[in-house]
Structure 1
Amino acid sequence: MTFRRSVDIEASQAGRAFKARRLAAGVLLAATFLLPSAGHAERPTAVIPTQTIYPGETVDASRVEVVDVTNPDLADGYVRTLNEIDGKVTKRTLLPGRVILVSALREQYAVERGSTVRLVFSNGGLTISAAGSPLQDAAVGELIRARNIDTGVIVSGTVMADGTIHVVAK
């Protein structure tokens, strides 16, 4: 009789352990399907060059690739998607296999130092335009100084998308 009793006790303990394992497996399976982020968390991505890109060159998709970030200690401030580099120009050399920092990219210049541009001043119904020369390179929306070619006066203005400089009143 003791033999049966010990077998009954072992069987009942084995049955409880089996039920606990089955319950744990069910919870894990439900969490995987109901909470996709718990089972399959998406890794962050980074854009890296496939070849050396030198300062002043335009970055395009054929010269870079998107990779998964495996280093959890990687500091923020790097380019994560191809949309972030679209039409950007490098400020410094980008090496293959290294992340591209956002600070290493700039917008393309709309006006370049020494070129001829149109200076436009508007105040109410009055509009004055003249030929000018930017004193620095600048992208759209930047405030720069330019020299009026006819008078030699230096004015400040905002670079517009069409390449003109809208002069601000003093």
Structure 2
Amino acid sequence: MIRHNPIPALFLALASLFATGLSAVAQEQAVVSTRVIYPGETISVDALNEVMLRRPPRGNTAVARMLEDIDGKVARRTLLPGRLIPISYVREAYLVETGSPVTVTFNEGALSISLRAVPLEHGAAGDMIRLRNIESGRTFTGVVLADGTVEVGAI
């Protein structure tokens, strides 16, 4: 009578289960650039590619996981082809540029006041920026809105 040792079969079953579990964990998605993207350049989908990661990125660096995370944003640093793109390397596009006059509004109840001012800083939607009143020369702060105007509140 031939006896079979059950340990090798059990070992193989556990090894395949362990390997399958590891590959499922390691299959994360990330975004890389397909060409060099220079600082100040707006990032478009045609310059990006989604890849599957073999292992998670090192450290606590947050990287772009989907194309939508960085499409339309602007590079802060040079992005090299085939490299992961840290979220801190991109920013929202500026809606307000330094020196380009913008409309500033103040709204409270039925009262609405608007004027033209010159931004002293760049600003994306939601950013608080400093501005200079064209007529009086006084400086003040306001919040950039999604339509490219700036809103100020009561002092």
The TM-score with structure 1 as length reference comes to: 0.77
Q: Which whole-Å deviations, capped at 9, do the CAs of 1:70-108 have from their partners, x for residues lacking one?
A: 244523311121111121110111111221110010001
The code of the aligned residue for 1:66 comes to E
- In the alignment, structure 1 segments of 5+ residues that lack a partner are 1-7
Of the three residues 13, 16, 29, the one matched with 1:45 is: 29
Q: Does 1:99 align with 2:99?
A: no
Following TM superposition, where does structure 1 have runs of at least 4 consecutive aligned residues deviating by more than 6 angstroms? Answer: 19-22
> Which segment drifts farther, 105-114 or 59-68?
59-68
Q: Whose RCO is larger (CA < 8 A, sep 6+)?
A: 2
Instruction: Name the residue aligned to 1:63.
Output: 47
Bigger Cα Rg: 1
Q: Which is richer in helix?
A: 1
Residue 165 of structure 1, aligned match among 121, 139, 150: 150
> How many residue pairs end up in the alignment?
153
Shift of the alpha carbon at 1:69?
Answer: 1.9
2:141 pairs with one of 129, 151, 156: 156
Hey, what does 2:71 align to over in structure 1?
A: 86
- In 2 relative to 1, CA 43–152 (structure 1 residues): closer, same or farther, beyond 3 Å? same
TM-score after normalising by structure 2: 0.83
Stretches of structure 2 lacking an aligned partner (at least 5 in a row): none
Q: Percent identity?
A: 40
What is the CA distance between 1:39 and its match in structure 2? 7.6
Structure 1, 98-107 or 39-48: larger mean CA deviation? 39-48
Whole-angstrom CA distance in 1 between matches of 2:83 and 2:21: 30
Aligned CA RMSD, in angstroms, stands at 2.7
The equivalent position to 1:143 in structure 2, one of 128, 134, 145, is 128
